[in-house]
Amino acid sequence: MQKRLHYLQDKLVMAIEIEQPSAHVGLSKVAVSDTHGEDSPYFAGWKAYDENPYDELSNPSGVIQMGLAENQVSFDLLEEYLEKHAEASSWGKGVSGFRENALFQDYHGLQSFRKAMASFMEQIRGGRAKFDSERVVLTAGATAANELLTFILADPGDALLVPTPYYPGFDRDLRWRTGVKIVPIHCHSSNNFQITPQALEAAYNDAEAMNIKVRGVLITNPSNPLGATIQRSTLEEILDFVTRKNIHLVSDEIYSGSVFSSSEFISVAEVLEARQYKDSERVHIVYSLSKDLGLPGFRVGTIYSYNDKVVTTARRMSSFTLISSQTQHLLASMLSDKKFTENYIKTNRERLRKRYEMIIEGLRSSGIECLKGNAGLFCWMNLSPLLQNQTREGELALWNPMLHEVKLNISPGSSCHCSEPGWFRVCFANMSEQTLQVALKRIQNFMEQIRERDGNLVISSQ
Amino acid sequence: MRLIVPLQGVVQGRGGLILGSLIPCALFYFFQLYVKRHRSPKSGSNHISPSQSSPNLAELQRSSSRSNLSSRGSIGRVQVSSRASSIAKPNDSPYYIGLDKVSEDAYDRFDNPDGVIQLGLSENRLCFDLIEKWFSENLKDSVIGSDGGDLSISGIAAYQPLDGLMELKVAMAGFMSQVMGPAVSFDPLQMVLTCGATPAIEILCFCLADPGNAFLVPTPYYSGFDRDVRWRTGVELIPVHCRNTDNFIISITSLDQAFNQARKRGVKVRGILLSNPGNPVGNLLPRETLDDILYFSQEKNIHIILDEIYAGSVYGTEEHVSMAELLDSDDIDKTRIHMVYGLSKDLALPGFRVGVIYSFNDTVLVAAKRLARFSSISAPTQRLLTSMLSDTRFTLTYINTSKKRIRKMHDLFVAGLKQLGIECATSSAGFYCWANMSKLIPSYSEKGELELWEMLLNIGKINVTPGSAFHCIEPGWFRCCFTTLSEEDIPIVIEGIRKVAETCKSSS
């Protein structure tokens, strides 16, 4: 059930048919609503994969999962580290080490771990921004971090402005329990989906017209699903905009370590530093180890805020989402090892870049163009020339056979609230190179079939 | 700016009246003008307050998130939500103040014998030797728990089911059966795992109640509920007061009364929140009471959340009746019963963050599974604990030994208090006793109780938690946790209380 007009009044959203529970005793609106958004095609594709997962040997005709943004290209580096540094993964010979760790449930988090996170974040940004470990708040994953920030920055009924296309999970993470709305900032392929001041103003006015109070802007940089970094000038414009409107800015930078070339990523932290932290108390950064370090199972996220009140509040609220002290201990050693992290960041970048080039080349030889990307675990593919109808239905009409016949689970742009139909997010880092080649071959075959079907088909490049 | 111009001294003599009033007025207005021109920028202007304007990064880094709030007042001009504003307020609860005091001046038998002894933390430190032994014997390689061969991090690094690994749920179901007694079995499919019991309770509240609804909770109750139930959900907690005369066991009459009063106010009660074993009293709900509450909830068509987090720490002779035991009969609608459990108490691993939601309501389970994504347990910890909980021989030994040791400390401590004429409520479980120090308080009121608490902290050098922190209606009760002590510490604690008792007697 795709709700593009999700910023309409609550009543309309809730009016969408949902099966009422058969239990006699009543449940909350949160429990029975579908604001979690998990009925969208984004998640339906996962289901198809779960039922028939591809395996090189045992199920070569299964569905290849290209809808999961997971980074599996650098596991060997992590394993190597853990093998070499047994002391990192034990509590040491002393009795007190384990005991203290097992008892440690302080929402401030292990200081050694916070310091390690701050230093890791600095390294990713090539030392171009400084991070204070006292401003690091730990959460069990970026999912929790984004929700927590929303609870802190906005009241029920308020809104956050989010540029489209965006990560489908935001519909759930930012809205479900918080009661906060998302008002989209529409971006278009004509300028590579960059955020413009006009689009910002338009979104703000949209909200005002509906009597909705805007509390902040949430950007993802590098962007999911675009796989591209936001330019410095755009960041400056966004900062000016939020300052003018006196609202917050959340910058979700969880893919910052997955930029193919270090110099191309500008963090909002760098811009703030250049401005000497003027007006910085409205800015908050979200980070996590799920993408860059490929450890989503560990559930490690962080909020970095330049606002003392937000830091204090987030800390207290993090009681609902603390990271296991065991995990903090383990990662503190690993992330403080500068030699390891430097090598990891460099190697990981390189491998991702290679994968990206592989998929872009493979797609190009099939006649498919993608948005020019420079980061992330996915590419943003343009299949709009293939659509029978330039509508959302036309897009899904293409997505369905992709999933059920070609057996590739890719994410349709409409799930990401893209204003133009025909774009798809394709993940490339959650599989082996061989599997990627298999996927590219399948796409090639599919495209050949389409050409035969449609005769002379000219694929225009963007 | 207001200036009260003293005219008295000036108005002397005839002409002085005019001059006497004109000159001060003129001075006043010129003064105001001067001040207006040179006033430092208001916080609403474009200038940043001094503490933020410095480009010196060191200052930024030194700002401590804890201390700055009260000194700065409204920070910056951009607002946070009203939800956040109430949470950000400095915490003045005695529970936290006491904890701070101990961390500043912690007792150590050798290094700091005059320090403050901690009796405010409900943690079990009596059995770490057992857990450490298990680790040294079973954890061959890494803290990730290699279980024999697969060191591959990809096994646990990848996305896991966000409501917990099935292997851990199975192991947990077995452990809960051990803990709650052989008559009860748990189905892993009805379980949702969360990073601690704290999010477990919050998630249940999100599922069972809408903002503005309420839960009834018997007092005294674990003060964390104020946070877990209310902060982000908008749900209210209505205290239902219990008294010493009833051994602090809830009565149906008072539940009914509270339910009706709420209804009169237009507040919809969605359920009852119970702790069994109780915190801070450490009492157990008798079978008949549980039956009555079940019946009551059925009659009013509301839910029951049962927090059984201390179920494995029952040392007394009374039996702990788990709610799961009562649900065997067919005429009870199980869909209204939900249990919360965790490993922070019984297995003394609060840092690892392991909590359980156990429910018979499919819709709640579906919603809770989805909500668990915001509070998932870290995968390496899940793997580690699957190993530990599957070692049923170890868990049985641990539970039994722990009970014995808690009992020993309990008996010693309660006996010590008795010598001072301080009686405790009957506790059969938990890590604390519920001591009645009402004879010592200067006035039979919350104020008197807090005064006594301060004396215990500053003169007695012990940090106990006053009953008001648990919303107890009767002043003078204190929760004293003894499982963070060693046997040698008990006489010192008793001595400290005696000192305070003497001070009270002499001053009265």
Residues 198-217 of B with CB under 8 A from A: 198-199, 202, 206-211, 213
Q: How far is A344 from chain B (nearest CA, A)?
A: 15
Contact A233, A190 (CB under 8 A): no
Residue A8 has pLDDT above 70, yes or no: no
**Which single residue is written with the structure tokens 């609202």?**
A247
Q: Where are the beta strands (DSSP E) in B308-385?
A: 337-342, 355-359
CA neighbor of A107 nearest in space, from B242, B224, B159, B424: B224
The verdict on whether A252 is a catalytic residue reads yes
Could you tell me the CA-to-CA distances from B489 to A52, B113, B123 in Å, in that order? 62, 10, 16
Helix (H) / strand (E) containing B85? helix B82-88
Question: What is chain A's alpha carbon radius of gyration, rounded to the nearest angstrom?
Answer: 22
In sequence order, which ranges of A182-307 are alpha helices (DSSP H)? 197-209, 232-245, 268-274
A254 carries an active-site annotation: yes
Nearest to A32 among B211, B232, B363 (CB): B363
State the catalytic residues of B. Answer: 222, 307, 309, 345
Inter-chain CB proximity A309 and B88 less than 8 Å: yes
Q: What is the pLDDT of residues A44-64, one digit of tens each?
A: 888 889 999 999 999 999 999
On the question of pLDDT at B6 being above 60, the answer is no
| pLDDT at B23 (0 to 100) | 61
How do residues B327-349 score in pLDDT, each as one tens digit?
Answer: 776 777 899 999 999 999 999 99
**Closest chain A residue to B198 measured between Cα atoms?**
A320
| φ/ψ (deg, to 5) at A277 | 65, 20
Residue A147: closest CA among chain B residues belongs to which residue? B374
Task: State residue B96's pLDDT score.
Answer: 83
* 0.85 surpassed by complex ipTM: yes
Residues making up chain A, counted from first to last: 462
CB contact under 8 A, B76 and A79: no
Contact B151 A82 (CB under 8 A): yes
Whole-Å CA distances, B113 to B100, B369, B492, B498: 18, 49, 10, 17
* Chain segment B114-141, per-residue pLDDT in tens: 899 999 999 999 999 999 899 888 876 4
Lowest mean pLDDT segment, chosen from A138-142, B142-146, B353-357: B142-146
Identify the residue with better confidence: A339 or B55: A339
Contact by Cβ (8 Å): B275, B299? no
**Predicted confidence (pLDDT) at residue B27 exceeds the cutoff of 70:** no
Q: Is A291 a catalytic residue?
A: yes
Are B378 and A294 inside 8 Å of each other by CB?
A: no
Q: Which of residues 267-306 of B touch A (CB under 8 A)?
A: 270, 301-303
Q: How many CB pairs under 8 A join A and B?
A: 283
Mean pLDDT, range B30-42, rounded to an integer: 51
The partner residue sitting opposite A28, judged by closest CB among B135, B210, B380, is B210
| DSSP-derived secondary structure for B88-141 | HS----HHHHHHHHHHHSB-BTTTBTTSBEE-S-----TTHHHHHHHHHHH--S
Tokens 């604001």 sit on residue: A35
Closest chain A C-alpha to B88 CA, distance in angstroms: 5
Residues of B whose CB is below 8 A from A72:
154, 158
Match 């095609």 to its residue by tokens: A41
- Of A7, A166, A167, A306, the active-site residue reads A167
How many CB atoms within 10 Å of residue A127?
9
Length of chain B: 508
With a pLDDT cut of 70, the percent of chain B lying above it is 82
Decide if pLDDT at B82 tops 50: yes
pLDDT at B47: 29
Q: What is the CA radius of gyration of chain B?
A: 28
- Range scoring the smallest mean pLDDT among A188-197, B9-18, B161-170, B413-422: B9-18
What is the pTM assigned to this prediction? 0.87
pLDDT in tens, A269-302: 999 999 999 999 999 999 999 999 999 999 999 9
Residue A267, pLDDT score: 97
Say what the pLDDT of residue A96 is. 59
Place of tokens 């051990």: B178
Task: Provide mean pLDDT across the span A351-378.
Answer: 96
Q: How far is CA B507 from CA B343, B419, B444, B453, in A?
A: 45, 21, 15, 16
Report the half-sphere exposure of A141 (CA within 13 A, side-chain side).
27
Between chains, do A309 and B84 touch, taking CB under 8 Å as contact? Answer: yes
